[in-house]
Amino acid sequence: GAVVSQHPSRVICKSGTSVKIECRSLDFQATTMFWYRQFPKQSLMLMATSNEGSKATYEQGVEKDKFLINHASLTLSTLTVTSAHPEDSSFYICSARVLAGSDEQFFGPGTRLTVL
């Protein structure tokens, strides 16, 4: 149980384009999903918290107009990187909170974004 998938696993795009990353909970309903970014040899950095049916909450320093998050259902959250630039190249990972009242998070496999 507690399987989280992400799609695509790897994407290469040109500077200025937008990229959408999907995060799905496959065998449970996730009211809360989280989006992280990880640069090489650095730790996870929380970007935003995605809550089903409401607006995402962003961490300080994360541009909400650049990183659009939609949590349309209890099993799907999407992150769209708009007008991507080379400095947005990173490993983007989502996680899902399995149960309300529990802090356990299970991670998706991640999406490696390369912006040329």
Partner 1 sequence: QKEVEQNSGPLSVPEGAIASLNCTYSDRGSQSFFWYRQYSGKSPELIMFIYSNGDKEDGRFTAQLNKASQYVSLLIRDSQPSDSATYLCAVSRPTDSWGKLQFGAGTQVVVTP
Residue ranges that bind partner 1, judged by CB under 8 A: 32, 34, 42-44, 46, 49, 51, 57, 93, 97, 102-110
59, 42 in Cβ contact below 8 A? Answer: no
Nearer to partner 1, 16 or 109 (CB): 109
Before 8, cis peptide (omega within 30)? yes
Report, in Å, the least distance between residue 16 CB and partner 1: 27
The nearest distance, CB 92 to partner 1, in angstroms, is: 10
Closest approach, Cβ 103 to partner 1, in A, equals 4
CB of 8 to partner 1, least distance (A): 14
For partner 1, the closer CB: 80 or 106: 106
| Among 66, 45, 49, 70, residue whose Cα is nearest residue 58 | 49
Amino acid at 47: M
* Calpha distance 23→107 (Å, rounded): 10
Cβ proximity to partner 1, 89 vs 110, nearer residue: 110
Task: Write b or e for each residue in 24-41: b if 16 or more Cβ atoms lie within 10 A of its Cβ, otherwise e.
Answer: bbeebebbbbbbbbeeee
> Nearer Cβ to partner 1, position 14 or 43?
43
